[in-house]
Structure 1
Amino acid sequence: MSSPAPSALDVAEHFFASPRLSSALTLVIVASELAAVLARDLIGWPGALAVLGGLVVLASLSLLAQRHMIEWNGLLPISLMVFVGWAAVSVFWSQYQWASLGSILYFGAVSLLGIYVALVRDTIQIARAFGDVLRAALLLSLALEIFSGVLIDTPLPFLGVAGHLADLGPIQGIFGGRNHLGVIALIAIVTFGLELRTKSVRRGTAIASLVLAGALLLLSRSPVAIGTMVIVALATLALFGIRQLPPQRKRIGQVALLVLAIVATILAWAYRTPVINAFAASSELSKRLRLWQQIRLLNPLHELEGWGWIGQWRRSIPPYSNIVDAPTSGLNAYLDVWLQIGLIGLLLFVGLLGLAFIRSWLLASRQRSVVYAWPALVLVVLAVSSLAESSILVEFGWLTFVVCSVKAARELSWRRAFAETMSPRPLEE
């Protein structure tokens, strides 16, 4: 007798559990968040929210279909859940509750997409997906800059392209600002370098991608990205130096590296003026200092709990409407978090970032595969650039951070280790 035909539910579950769907959905998720500014410029907020909502539905159905294949023990880092939870409950004391509620829903949706990517794809698959999307986004940025700055010599204001390529920058690409382009190009350099090292793409493709990302980084003329690049280069040398040590010496090497990092941080702060001048960032810093001073005047009014989560600033509502020349963020993720969800939120954010980085660094230094270096170095980019940008708190920056955080926590989960030690073992005969 022939077997009964599968039901519609079985067909749907097989479809949403398909690895091909997970792969395609991961690419679309990363691309949608990376090109969020471009999407809003082209289809507006309603269209962008419709895309986000559709991706959340598809990701939820895919997670549900794969529920039996996912290890649920220690699923999410507690630090991430606490931080997102604190941002969510800030709606109760927010000075702009309607805006906080919408921002929290948006924040939660991006968080869910990041969790989905981290759960259904391996680290090498995630890095490859980011590589493919970054390559396409940088090529599109270069094409638009050539069209605007060379071919027609006219800005494209509806896309945020100023058309300065003929003057060798600064350029913005599709990302709305030169600092955003610079940081994304730096993440791309880390990703393409990993592709070259792991031979996950053809050597020619990897080298061409590195040249493209490096060129756009330089053309962005972003002091934030250039300064971050120096730190990332030093971190890369340190990480691969630690990886070469024999296992019995790695702990000593990690302690020595920590001491060296602390000393370097103190020296950089002590000699901050010549460092700033070396990167020609004095004008950038002056603008930021004026903004940060205004934020510091607002913080004491709601110091512990903050004004309420908003994510990307809305200049139509106070206190942001009262800030002179207010941008769309605090241009410092740490001060931004302090302003929005208070000193408690800042401590939670620093703890979350610190735990994610420590876990990723330990994995990268212990594991034989070089692919584990990707989350660690990407987190270096995000953490350092957050001193002068708030992009880690929204869209692509937050998605990338959630992916790295969840992957690191699942590999080094104390809850999973505790469960394994508590599980009964078979009796020996």
Structure 2
Amino acid sequence: MPAVQSRFVVRTFATLVFFSALAGQFWRSLFGWWGYGAIALVIVAGGIVALVKLKPDWMWPRFPKSLIGFLGLATLSLAWSFYLGASLIGVTLQWATTATALFLALCLTWPELLRTLAAALRWILALSLAFELIVAVFVRQAVLPFWVDYSGQDVPQSFYWSRGILLQGGPIEGIVANRNLLGFVALIAVIVFAVQLAAGTVRRGAAWAWLGTAVLVLLLTRSATVVFAAAAVDLALLFALWARRRSPEGRRPVYLAAAASVVVGGAGVVALTPWLLTLLGKSADLTGRLDIWRSVTELAVERPVFGWGWVSYWAPWVEPFQGLAVRRGVTYLQAHNAWLDVWLQLGILGLIVFAALVLSTLWRCWFLAVDRPRRGLADTEPFAASALLPLLLLVALLAQSLAESRILIESGWLLLVVLAVTTKRQQATNARMP
């Protein structure tokens, strides 16, 4: 019984970790930055304590070296950072998020990871719909985050926690206060709930209900970023299922078709972007992203090799971030492209290390998805369901990374580390099997 209770505590804490990483803005809107900081500190401390007490397997052959390389380079950038104080904060936050992700990757089994992630997603979706309904029906006006005084100034739309237009069909922001973030949470939920449905690990009625809820929330956000990410996930799923039907030696047509689809799809996105932006109510400059990318590129070429120093979220109180990306009264704290952000902060060297981390993880996710494993992720679940999940989650993150830098911070970095570590451990396990 004590062991069962301890696993219940671990799973409950893991659900809180996933919830707080995916919906960090909920805590910030509800309790302010100081309240959020206190919650984050408790979560990080709890993750470290769990790592110490549960004593998971830390065998280095099972640990992704590219992850160590990226964290090491980010830490080393303190030596040449243009903004040492901000870099100290950024590097500390990066290590704190990594430690929390390691708790998830090393202390939970794959079924537990799936179960706790799904639970966190259900909480976020349910609370978001309930919150938007309350605002639309009872408050009947836009709602600002608590503990912030905006009196005497024109408040940009993006500052609102919710605009209260659920009954008009959205777009809605949910408890995360951002339709792009809520849409991405809904996309992850669609992937996870569909896997659970296919695996038969939850009741079919409940699975279909939550899958429908996730799709509804995704549609209500009207996020162009998520539409693109969803298309990429669908394409990855199609090619993975095709590859499964062929032997490893007979997959050349799959790879050729995949390469061709990337080229054609890229050209199609460029050609159809104006139409898609009009359909989704977006401006022709991608909601200011083109100006941000131009400013970031001009700054990155000033320090192209090693960058300006790691900072994670931009620090708007220091140069060169002060006034770097301001649009309609909103100061943006990211490049809205993870690859540009890495180049800006860690230079070409950082891009190489980050690409190694992402591509090596993608490589492992692909072959774990298309090659029937001897043991591990698909031990007790249908092969078609469980082994596909890492690939689909990573593809969603990579698609998002072209328009957002979330893969470098909070939930994006946490999920990337979890996928990198779990797939590396699975690969090492398979390699030792006869």
Q: Same fold (TM over 0.5)?
A: yes
Q: How far apart, CA to CA, are the structure 2 residues paired with 1:81 and 1:241?
A: 34
Cα root mean square deviation, aligned: 2.3
**TM-score, L = length of structure 1:** 0.88
Quote the Cα distance in structure 2 between the aligned partners of 1:129 and 1:350. Answer: 29
- Provide the residue aligned with 1:275 in structure 2: 272
Unaligned segments of structure 2, at least 5 residues: 146-159, 373-377
Instruction: Compare 168-177 and 329-338 and name the one that shifted more.
Output: 168-177
Counting only pairs closer than 5 Å after superposition, residues 22-171 of structure 1 correspond to structure 2 as 22-67=10-55, 70=57, 72-158=59-145, 160-171=161-172
Distance 1:55 1:17, change over 3 A: farther
**Equivalence for 1:403:** 418
- What CA distance in whole angstroms lies between the structure 1 residues aligned with 2:228 and 2:308? 31
Q: Quickly say closer, same or farther: Cα 1:47–1:100, change in 2 above 3 A.
A: same
Moved over 4 A (4+): 14-17
**What amino acid is the match of 1:167?**
Q
Deviates more, 1:296-305 or 1:47-56: 47-56
Which shows bigger deviation, 133-142 or 15-24?
15-24
Amino acid at match of 2:270: T
Percentage of pairs with the same residue: 31
CA distance in 2, matches of 1:84, 1:235: 28
Query: In the TM superposition, what is the alpha-carbon distance from 1:156 to its structure 2 partner?
Result: 1.2
- Letter paired with 1:79: S
Q: Distance in 1 between matches of 2:198 and 2:265?
A: 31
In structure 1, stretches of 5+ residues that fail to align are 1-13, 422-429
Q: Output the CA distance in 2 between the equivalents of 1:122 and 1:242.
A: 27
Q: Secondary structure at the match of 1:412?
A: helix
Q: Do the aligned residues in 1 keep the contact of 2:242 with 2:254 (CA within 8 Å)?
A: no
The match for 2:370 is 365
- Residue 239 of structure 2 contacts residue 258 of structure 2 at CA under 8 Å; is this kept in 1? no
Structure 1 CA distance for aligned equivalents of residues 187 and 249 of structure 2: 29
Distance (Å, rounded) in 2 between the aligned partners of 1:300 and 1:392: 23
For 2:11 and 2:322, the matched residues in 1 are separated by 42
- Whether contact under 8 Å (1:90, 1:308) holds in the other structure is yes
Paired residue secondary structure (2:171)? coil
In structure 2, how many angstroms separate the alpha carbons of the residues matched to 1:354 and 1:200? 30
Correspondences of 1:249-288 after superposition (within 5 Å): 249-253=247-251, 255-280=252-277, 281=282, 283=284, 285=286, 287-288=288-289
Does 1:344 pair with 2:349?
yes
1:284–1:407 CA distance, 2 compared to 1 (3 A): farther
- 1:139 aligned partner, one-letter code: A
In structure 2, the partner of 1:378 is: 393
Residue 176 of structure 1 is matched in structure 2 by: 177
Question: 1:33, CA displacement in angstroms?
Answer: 1.2
Other structure's SS at 1:301 match: coil
Q: How many residues align?
A: 401
TM-score after normalising by structure 2: 0.87
Q: How far 1:104 sits from its partner (Å)?
A: 1.0
CA distance in 1, matches of 2:302, 2:4: 48
Q: What amino acid does structure 1 have at the position aligned with 2:235?
A: L
> SS of 1:381's equivalent?
helix
CA contact (8 A) 1:337 1:345 kept: yes
**In the alignment, structure 1 residue 331 sits paired with structure 2 residue 329:** no
Against the structure 1 CA distance between its residues 284 and 206, is the aligned structure 2 distance closer, same or farther, given a 3 Å change threshold?
farther
Q: How does 1:13-24 map to 2 (within 5 A)?
A: 18-24=6-12
Separation of aligned partners in 1, 2:261 and 2:90: 38
Change in CA separation of 1:49 and 1:152 when aligned onto 2, cut-off 3 Å: closer
Q: Is the 8 A contact 1:227 1:279 kept in 2?
A: no
Whether the 8 Å CA contact 1:87–1:309 is kept in 2: the answer is yes
- 1:17 deviates by 10
Conservation of the 8 A alpha-carbon contact between 2:12 and 2:116: no
CA deviations on 1:223-248 (whole Å, 9 max, x unpaired) are 11011111111211221222233xxx
**CA 1:365–1:336 in structure 2 vs 1: closer, same or farther (change >3 Å)?**
same
How far is 1:324 from its partner? 4.1
1:406 aligned partner, one-letter code? V
Superposed CA deviations along residues 122-169 of structure 1, whole A, max 9, x for unmatched, are 222111111111011011111111111233221111161121212211
> In 2, Cα distance between the equivalents of 1:156 and 1:305?
42
Task: Report the counterpart of residue 425 of structure 1 in structure 2.
Answer: none
Alpha-carbon offset, residue 73 of structure 1: 4.2
User: 1:427: which partner in 2?
Assistant: none
Is the CA contact (8 Å cut-off) linking 1:196 and 1:203 kept in structure 2? Answer: yes
Aligned to 1:7: none
- CA offset digits 1:62-87 (Å, max 9, x no partner): 222222x5262424200111011111
Q: Confirm or deny: 8 A CA contact 1:330 1:390 kept in the other structure.
A: yes
Q: Against the structure 1 CA distance between its residues 324 and 63, is the aligned structure 2 distance closer, same or farther, given a 3 Å change threshold?
A: closer
- Rounded Cα–Cα distance in structure 2 between residues aligned with 1:96 and 1:411: 39
Alignment CA distance shift 1:354-1:295 (3 Å): same
Given that residues 123 and 372 in structure 1 are in contact (C-alpha distance below 8 angstroms), is that contact kept between their aligned partners in structure 2? Answer: no
Seen in structure 2, the aligned counterparts of structure 1 residues 286 and 34 have a Cα distance that, compared at 3 Å, is: closer
The one-letter amino acid of 2:370's match is: S
Query: 1:264 Cα deviation (Å)?
Result: 2.0
Q: Which moved more, 1:85-94 or 1:183-192?
A: 85-94
State the secondary structure of the residue aligned to 1:302.
coil
State whether structure 2 residue 254 is matched by structure 1 residue 291: no
> Does residue 240 in structure 1 map to residue 241 in structure 2?
yes
Is the 1:127–1:374 Cα contact (8 Å) retained in structure 2?
no
User: Highest Rg: 1 or 2?
Assistant: 1
- Paired with 2:15 and 2:350, the residues of 1 have a C-alpha distance of 31
